[in-house]
Structure 1
């Protein structure tokens, strides 16, 4: 992107995180970026174009958080580590998360029925994050940790668990002491994977690996 485009996107992201989506307006973004509203319209055609550019920036960061998890010999532990990265991104960047996975009308046209299309979005640069989850599900099935099933449907089910837990935690229903992970999401993921065919002891060991890696900073 050009310097002006970068400055406007960065300004939009700052306002989004500081004041929330309703605070975004052409005038406020222009002032934050130290430019004019004309520059915004010239570069993006209006606020809808800017919101899409911000969403692309957020998806790039979100995808990086999910895909930078190194693969190990334990696909279930890798899936759990990805889930932890997902949780961390959402809780650290709540407004950005709400922008890409909330009900923002201007972005809704890019969403698709993943059970039919195989992707959660029709935008290639946004789709990589879901592909990472799909791959994690494929690896767990290939390793015999969970039973063979419709991979896309299973990915959708697991995403639903994580998204629902994240949304409730962001709303404060699990407090602010990490109870959402330790008392809700961790046990829920174990129960879900066992229901999908994994051995409970094996699933628990996979979770312990992730916790141990987190504690060691690796």
Structure 2
């Protein structure tokens, strides 16, 4: 059998991560096994072990992949001359990424696999997504779009609001897409108004 090209490994890695995420989201942590993930992608458990080491390695890579996708979504947001519009665009990107990757979202921000705890290296790797939010908040403070405040504190508030809204939307608690968008817009407008005072 010919050795797969590098892109084949990359594709298989992504398929395994997505399969693991779907099993976890749809059936819970008990369903997340190397055998089930391999079956879902039509490959062998050997491939899972080769790429991730073991089940805990797979969970770690699922966690990191969720943040890599979020970082890519943030990186695709253009930086313009309007810092507030740019910040709101990051919020849109956060929401879109959650909707595109609901099977990874809970693992990124919750504890669906109780034994999984991100190690310091994983923490370092995911930090740039929050740093991007802090930097966007700092621009809003520097240009007067927000009142003088600590950009980190503002980022924590925005992150908490976005996370709460995403969690509710992914569970269907905000209604259909149009209703969810209306909730998002009202919440953002209220928060921005408070920060602008």
What range describes the TM-score normalised by the shorter chain of this pair?
0.7 to 0.9
CA distance in 2, matches of 1:144, 1:122: 35
1:109 aligns with 2:115: no
Query: Is the CA contact 1:11–1:29 (under 8 Å) kept in the aligned structure 2?
Result: yes
5+ residue gaps, structure 2, are: none
CA distance in 1, matches of 2:101, 2:193: 31
Deviating beyond 6 angstroms after TM superposition, the runs of 4 or more aligned structure 1 residues are none
Partner of residue 216, structure 1: none
Map of 1:118-157 to 2, 5 A cutoff?
123-157=123-157
CA distance in 2, matches of 1:172, 1:86: 17
For the aligned residues, what is the CA RMSD? 2.5
Q: CA deviation at 1:5?
A: 7.1
CA distance in 1, matches of 2:24, 2:111: 18
Change (3 A) 1:52 1:66: same
Partner of residue 168, structure 1: 168
Q: CA deviation at 1:15?
A: 4.5
Q: CA deviation at 1:34?
A: 3.8
CA distance in 2, matches of 1:145, 1:151: 12
TM-score, scaled relative to structure 2: 0.83
Q: Deviations over 1:143-188 (max 9, x none)?
A: 0111222221211111001111111111212111421222x22122
Q: CA deviation at 1:55?
A: 2.0
Partner of residue 17, structure 1: 22
Partner of residue 197, structure 1: 196
Q: Deviations over 1:94-151 (max 9, x none)?
A: 111112112233443348xxxxxxxxx8533212211111111011001011122222
Partner of residue 97, structure 1: 105
- Equivalent pairs, count: 188
5+ residue gaps, structure 1, are: 112-120, 199-218
